[in-house]
Structure formats: C-alpha cells, structure tokens
C-alpha cells in the first residue's frame, strides 16, 4: 500500500471553498455533503435546469434501465419513504421530477448557477487554489474543484459530412428540444442503435409515416417488462429500505441481485437454456449475464448466452434477413452495454420501418434531402442522431483543466486517462472526479457509485480541513499502479474485445483502453476505504 507524505499548510483564502461542475445526480449530492461540512460551495451547471443526464436526454422513450426503487439516492431514509415511484423503470420525466424534489427538499438551488459552463480552470501553484473561468465571464478562485460532470455528457455525431446541409430538423437524442418533436406524417431517419436508439425507435415508429433505422453495429437488447408498480410492492420495499440500501452498498454492482456460482460450460444445453429463459423473463438488464460465472470471462461460455439472445431476435422479427442483420455476431454479449427495450425488435415487423445495415453499405454523407449510403440516398424529413457520446473522458477533456507546470488534463491523458482510483490524478491537486475514468461507474448502478465517490470526497475534504491541510494529490506512482491494476483486471474479462464506448472505440482517434474499473463496486469501495483509513495512502498531502 503506498504511503502519504505531509508538508506545511498555506493560510491564504480563495473566493470560495469548492466549485462543483454539474448539477446532475452527483453535483446535487456533492453540494449537500459539502454544505454539511460548512464549506462555501458554488455549483456551475451548463443547462438551464438541474438534472444532468436526466435533463439533457429527454428523447421519446428515455427511461432508466435499472429499477426505480434501486436507482435513486440512498442517503436519506426520509426521502426514501416520502418519494413514490410510479413505474418499475422510471421514465426520464419522472427521474427529473425526483431530482427537482431533492433540490427543493434540501434547499440546494441557491448555490447552483444555471446556464453557466465552466470553460477553464488553472491551478495556481503558489496560492494553491484553482482559478475557474466560465462562459459567462465569471472568474473565481476555489480550494477544491469537483468535476461532477457525468460519464456520458458530450454528444458525438455521425462523423460524415453534410449534417448542416439537411433541410429538415436534426436532433441528437442528448439535446432533445423541450417542446418535443413532431413526427406525424413525416419520414424519419434514425442513425444509431445503442440504448438511446433502441428506446426511441419504437415510439418514433408509432407516429412517423416512414422510419429508416441506420445500424452500424447491432445490439443485444433484453425486454424491460416495464409496468406500473403496485402499492403492495412500494410498501414492501419501503418497509425494508434500510436493509436494502445497506445491501446495495455492499454489492458488486450497486443492485441487490442473485450472483451465479457455476460455469455455463459445466451444465447441459437444456439446463442452460432453461436458466436463460428464466433470466430473460425477469426483465432485468443483467439477468442473463448473471446466469453463470464465466459469461464475461470465457468466449465459449459467452457464446451460449449470445446465441440465446439471437434466438429471441429470430423468434420476434418476421423477416429472417432483417433478424440476421439485427443479430450481433462481432462481439461477445455484455461487452458493449446491453439495452433494455420495449418493443424494439418487433418494430422491424412494421411495414413502414426499414433497417439499413451500415456495415455492408456505409454512411457516406447527409444531404439536404436525407441520408446517403454507399448504395442509395434515403429521403427523410427529420433526422435523429442517436450516435452517443465521447463518454468517460469527454466532459473532462473538453474543459481546459490546467494543472501543475501548465500541463493540461488533455495533454496528460493524450494516450488515455491516467487516474488514481478514478478520483483524481497527479499534477492536479484538489481536483476530484465523481465517477471518473477507471472507477466502476458505468458498470454499476450509477446512483450507488455516485454516492460512494461523493462520500469519499467529502470525508477527504473533512480530513484536510480538520488537519488544516491545503492540498491533496495522487502520486504518480500510485496512479501508475492503479492504471496497471485496472488494465490487468479488464484483461481478465472479455470487455476489451469489443469496439465500444467503454474502450473509446466509438470516437475516431480516441486512445483505446478500458475506461472503467471492472473489479466490482464492493472490492473498489473497500480499496477506497482502506486508502482513507491509511491516511490517504498514495496521495501527497500538503
């Protein structure tokens, strides 16, 4: 275990104690916790409302793929008791209402400045504080800079010319207009078939005159089996919430789920099929993957589950050629994030819906009239870009974060993110990243991982304040060891074998590497707690 080193404190006082970037789920909770410490805290939020991911992604069908009574804050037993979720999987509007409720209940709004994007932050090595600049011309100095800027924040487009030439409206799923989009009677083109595409396609198909879906890589989608929650279910969960929340915090992925004990290869094909069928009918994103211990570690084991899902696609999609195009064959099941769908595959049975395979006929350009592939021009009146994000690092590298010696985070991460525990990095003192790269983050229930990071950061800030300490920074040595450990753990899985946003492969030119920590939220939490217990081992403290 690395050890911490200490030097003398500084006495100067910055304009504020902490700046938090982002007023989504992490920023709101971080504000609450720093307030409890009595810190002067300012939150800057680029949007004109709070909510982060749940503010920006308001496309039709946007919905969480973790159950609502699991994907919510756990820090307040009173909040758990008073808020009532209406559906098994909450829709984006309901989650946004919940976050508004949280902001009001804990009186968070006065410290949040909306419509203000942090554009630059420079570390002053003499004063030992950050100078933060915004797009509204504000500048202020702060001891701590906490990036609560999210994992999937910076949208990316289809990387072909001509989007600006398109004559009709163009909407990215992550920048959906508040007033909605009229599809009735229109020819709609959707590019992208990740979770956002899978959720919006069935709803757009209900209204559009024609829908063309452009698919580069098919996904494995499992049925959500969403439905209203019954009063009895809500009451039962509320009665057991304290134990349930505690179990979530101890769990591998932030949800309380049965874990497998056997290999997929040690049972008969019939037994496996029955197990997969039972898992399929749970309507839980990870259920099939949790059927056996080795589905994310052994390609042969994985193929049994992958083929099971392909069988489901074949039995749903009437046209065998379309079913085959929708069937993933180039990467193992679960190594790109699977989707939870409501009627996605069946949508392709509708006569006005067409699937275009961009692997055999690549996208060439967007024209005024539609989408041109290598084979033909597909006319459209409305263009929907469900093309995803520069995930994990994008929100951090698009801001000019300038650390020691004038080195930017962009430069430091030119060959991929280098972090200590995904919480901070060498050369960037007092900069914390909530669910940052190389932490479990997107592989877990984000609500639980966010709380764990926010609480760890808050404890760390309390430790510094109580000890009259000014500066904390991961050491280069600890960071190197963490990066190597995260890569080693990822290397034991099948994850790196897929071209996905988990590895940076979705953004042309982005360095490749597995961007989250796949060792389990339970193991990771223990590691973070041990670092704190050992006086912030692996950090230099001034």
What residues line the site for ligand N01 (CB under 6 A)?
63-65, 152, 158-159, 173, 191-197, 199, 216-217, 337, 340, 358, 363, 386-389, 442, 501, 506
Give me the residue label for tokens 């961009």.
358
Which structure tokens are listed for 447? Answer: 């609500």
Residue 449 to residue 447: CA distance in whole angstroms: 6
Residue 89 to residue 223: CA distance in whole angstroms: 12
Which residue is at the shortest CB distance from ligand N01?
194
Residue 242 to residue 79: CA distance in whole angstroms: 12
Residue 55 neighbours by CB under 8 Å, 6+ apart: 24, 47, 49, 96
Q: Contact, 38 vs 32, CB < 8 A?
A: no
Closest approach, Cβ 158 to ligand N01, in A, equals 4
Q: Which helix (H) or strand (E) holds 250?
A: helix 241-250
Closest approach, Cβ 453 to ligand N01, in A, equals 17
Residue 338 to residue 283: CA distance in whole angstroms: 13
Closest approach, Cβ 244 to ligand N01, in A, equals 21
Residue 100 to residue 25: CA distance in whole angstroms: 10
Residue 253: CB atoms within 10 Å:
20
Nearer to ligand N01, 116 or 373 (CB): 373
Nearer to ligand N01, 62 or 478 (CB): 62
Q: How far is CA 384 from the centre of its chain?
A: 21
Nearer to ligand N01, 26 or 387 (CB): 387
Closest approach, Cβ 156 to ligand N01, in A, equals 6
Nearer to ligand N01, 394 or 474 (CB): 394
Nearer to ligand N01, 63 or 312 (CB): 63
Closest approach, Cβ 454 to ligand N01, in A, equals 20
Closest approach, Cβ 518 to ligand N01, in A, equals 15
Q: Contact, 384 vs 200, CB < 8 A?
A: yes
Closest approach, Cβ 419 to ligand N01, in A, equals 20
Burial of 235 (0-12, 13-18, 19+ CB in 10 A): exposed
Of 374, 352, 62, the C-alpha closest to 212 is: 352
Q: Could you give phi then psi for residue 336, rounded to 5 degrees?
A: -100, 150
Nearer to ligand N01, 129 or 220 (CB): 220
Closest approach, Cβ 245 to ligand N01, in A, equals 21
Residue 165: CB atoms within 10 Å:
11
Residue 256 to residue 247: CA distance in whole angstroms: 6
Q: How far apart, in Å, are the Cα atoms of 211 and each of 57, 73, 454?
A: 21, 38, 43
Closest approach, Cβ 141 to ligand N01, in A, equals 34
């Amino acid at each position: 275990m690395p050890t911490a080193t200490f030097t003398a404190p500084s006495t100067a006082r910055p304009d504020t104690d902490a700046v938090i970037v982002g007023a989504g789920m992490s920023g709101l909770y971080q504000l609450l916790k720093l307030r409890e410490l009595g810190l002067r805290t300012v939150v800057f939020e680029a949007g004109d409302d709070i909510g982060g991911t749940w503010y920006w992604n308001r496309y039709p069908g946007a919905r969480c793929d973790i159950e609502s009574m699991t994907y919510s804050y756990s820090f307040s037993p009173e909040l758990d008791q008073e808020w009532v979720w209406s559906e098994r999987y909450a829709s984006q509007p309901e989650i946004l209402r919940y976050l508004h409720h949280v902001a009001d209940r804990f009186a968070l709004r006065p410290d949040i400045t909306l419509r203000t994007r942090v554009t630059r932050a420079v570390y002053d090595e003499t004063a030992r504080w950050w100078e933060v600049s915004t797009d509204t011309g504000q500048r202020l100095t702060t001891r701590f800079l906490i990036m609560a800027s999210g994992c999937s924040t910076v949208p990316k487009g289809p990387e072909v010319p001509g989007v600006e030439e398109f004559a009709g409206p163009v909407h990215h799923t992550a920048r959906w207009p508040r007033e909605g989009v009229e599809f009735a009677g229109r020819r709609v083109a959707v590019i992208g078939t990740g979770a956002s595409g899978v959720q919006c396609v069935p709803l757009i198909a209900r209204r559009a005159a024609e829908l063309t879906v452009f698919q580069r890589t098919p996904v494995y989608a499992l049925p959500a089996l969403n439905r209203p929650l019954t009063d009895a279910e809500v009451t039962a969960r509320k009665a057991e919430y304290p134990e349930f929340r505690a179990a979530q915090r101890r769990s591998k992925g932030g949800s309380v789920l049965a874990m497998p004990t056997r290999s997929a290869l040690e049972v008969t094909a019939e037994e496996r099929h029955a197990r997969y069928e039972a898992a399929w009918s749970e309507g839980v994103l990870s259920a099939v993957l949790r059927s056996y211990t080795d589905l994310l570690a052994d390609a042969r084991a994985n193929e049994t589950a992958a083929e099971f899902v392909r069988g489901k696609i074949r039995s749903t999609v009437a046209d065998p050629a379309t079913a085959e195009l929708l069937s993933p064959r180039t990467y193992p099941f679960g190594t790109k994030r699977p989707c939870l769908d409501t009627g996605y595959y069946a949508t392709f049975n509708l006569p006005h819906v067409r699937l275009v395979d961009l692997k055999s006929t690549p996208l060439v350009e967007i024209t005024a009239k539609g989408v041109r592939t290598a084979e033909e021009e597909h006319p459209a009146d409305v263009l929907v870009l469900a093309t995803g994000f520069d995930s994990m690092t994008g929100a951090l590298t698009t801001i000019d974060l300038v650390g020691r010696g004038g080195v930017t985070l962009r430069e430091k991460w030119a060959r991929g993110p280098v972090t200590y525990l995904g919480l901070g990095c060498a050369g960037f003192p007092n900069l914390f990243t909530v669910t940052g790269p190389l932490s479990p983050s997107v592989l877990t229930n984000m609500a639980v991982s966010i709380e764990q990071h926010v609480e760890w950061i808050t404890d760390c800030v309390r430790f510094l304040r109580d000890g009259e300490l000014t500066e904390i920074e991961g050491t280069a040595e600890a960071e190197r060891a963490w990066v190597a450990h995260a890569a080693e753990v990822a290397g034991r899985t099948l994850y790196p074998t897929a071209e996905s946003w988990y590895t940076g492969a979705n953004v042309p030119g982005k360095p490749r590497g597995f961007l989250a920590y796949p060792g389990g939220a339970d193991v990771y939490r223990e590691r973070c707690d041990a670092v704190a217990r050992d006086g912030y081992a692996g950090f230099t403290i001034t």
